[in-house]
Structure 1
Amino acid sequence: MSRNVLISGASIAGPALAFWLHRYGMTPTVVERAAEMRLGGQTVDLRGAGRTVIERMGLGDAVRERITHEAGVRFVDGRNRVRASFGSDGDGFVTELELLRGELADLLYQRTRDDIEYVFGDEITDLTETGDGVDVTFRTGPDRRFDLVVLADGFRSRTRDLVFADIARTRSFGLYTAYFTIPRTESDDGWARWYNAPGRRVVLLRPDNQGTTRASFSFLIGHKGLDQLRSPSQKQFLRDHYTDAGWETPRVLDGMDSSSDFYFESVGQMHLKHWSRGRIAAVGDAGYCASPLSGMGTSLALVGAYVLAGELDRHTDHRDAFRSYEAILRPYVTQAQKVSWFAPRLAAPKTRTGIRLLTTAAALASTPQASRLTSRFTNPPADAITLPTYPTSP
């Protein structure tokens, strides 16, 4: 069916949706607020149904060429002694298909850019649905009309608030995370290193495939609104908050100051009562962010895009397509969003005693005898869906 579809957001869900809509003979247009593709970001993993979608897109080999080759994750103490190790093994604690968010976004963009219109440096400022389409106002570009609009622009989507503000609910974990890239040193190898400091503070260093190291600070604190501060104020807060954390934290703080891809966020989930209204729908984090704690963000984006496009191809009436998309995907999302409020508190103990208990438990869980049992509780439900096979899909 020939449909003219506007997609807001060019991260993972947006280009993936554009790929499938074009495959089914529709005409997608992607608008992205950034001036160009945003290629920064931390490591994401491909597992379960998300990996299956990538294979159905014919991108499996291309993804494998871009993996970080991370050996696994090690829990270390202040003297850099390894207290527990989890190797990269299939769909376990760490998967064998780990790649940078920017690498995956770039791959999707490169595979769609010749067939799909991308509009960078602009954003939707108003949406008016009429009987046969949606009139769209842009911040800088001319007004245009589309048959359908899909919001794929992230957890903090401003565009979503134009449509779903009255039925949107966020769930906060009281957790903040800062991500950035720092120079690699001799202490960095093929393993990710997880370090806990008292006061519910975590430092994580992960190898990439570009000769640098991906760093993050994650911490629990009662302060609200830190994510609303400007970057210089956020960096100063992190310097003050982590000043006595120990380990390699001084090096990480220095690298943070000179990084070009610093990003700070409040970790949470998005819950929408419905994922569509009229001719407008949401996909990925904009509609049902499960938070990085779930380990399911990439899978939800890819699977959501695949199912939404397939249902639009299968149904003549967009309302039927949107209803079917939500019926198929909602149970999968519900499973992904079952993240305990206690989970980040368990991973970031308050005291040194709590940290010793955490690393002792992690060491036990990493033994061959226990790994199978613990994986049942630690692995995200990435396969908890039977993917439809659409008539025109490969």
Structure 2
Amino acid sequence: MKIDVRVPTLSDSVASGTLLPWRKQVGEMVARDETLVDLETDKVILEIPAPVSGTLLELRREEGAVVKADEVVAVIETGENGGAGVAAAKPAPAAPATVVPAPAASPVQPPSTPLPAAPAAASSAPGESRREPLSRLRLRVAERLVAAQHTAAMLTTFNEVNMQPVNELRQRFKAEFEVKHGVKLGYMSFFVRAVCRALEQFPLVNAAIDGNDIVWHGDVDIGIAISSPRGLVVPILRRAQTLSPAAIEAAIADFARRARESRLTLEELSGGTFSITNGGVFGSLLSTPILNPPQSAILGMHTIQERPVAESGQVVIRPMMYLALTYDHRLIDGRDAVQFLVAVKAALEAPEALLSEI
């Protein structure tokens, strides 16, 4: 029996995809649910699995072809001719497609997450140049970056925070926290909770523009930028305002693990009302993050650096971090943006309340 291999259902915002190199060739045996080819779309990379076991009889579309949902891309022979036996004659229900997220516009990995090895960069021979097409993912990233800068009136305000109180609190509770919850006490739980508290005071920073309307969000859904082998992704921490420090750290650790394993879902990468990006994990001292539309604000964290600061008329050395808030000035005035960032700073410099549920 001949069974068609079809492109899986795509999301409403993804019309087509490009076939990457085939993992199997005509005449080879394939097992049910085995990945035959990857499909690169504007947002993610989907794995197209074999619906049945058998022999790959025909490749209908070649590497590089642009295909649409439900389009037949290959044919598998089952039964005696395909060497798969009677049990394989009937196709199994389509397995959920594994998604590999596209790189995000302005993301960085949380400091509590181990960094994956960076993929080797392609190079050219000395004295020579080489040319290759941009992937659909990189083209989409470029499109979003340019669109964000042309659509929103982006402005960035800066502040700095003394991280010594957070460091002392982490040092005091980290062993107890890890034993009790099975996850390390990182910086992100402090920042997420500080952001949620500040957004309670300044809900406009959590809102968005939709045409001529303001959309006020009842929940704080924070995008947490994470590094993965295929690029930078921003899974969403849903209803972050309701989460304990342990729940935040566990969720971020889970996101990071599944990003490395290419097991994040489209739903986990969709939506979000605010984002946090951490250039500090890569050594960035200061940057201006780019908005992730339709969100109206993004907080940039940076490296912690010991610097001399003045306290009560004395010069002391403190672990300092620059914070950057990029916001859409069409919606958010400078006063609200600055006060929001000051509220985040104040929460981080008196962090006991942020760790009230350890």
TM-score (norm 1): 0.23
Q: Which has the higher helix share?
A: 1
TM-score (norm 2): 0.24
Higher relative contact order (CA 8 A, sep 6+): 1
**Whose radius of gyration is greater, 1 or 2?**
2
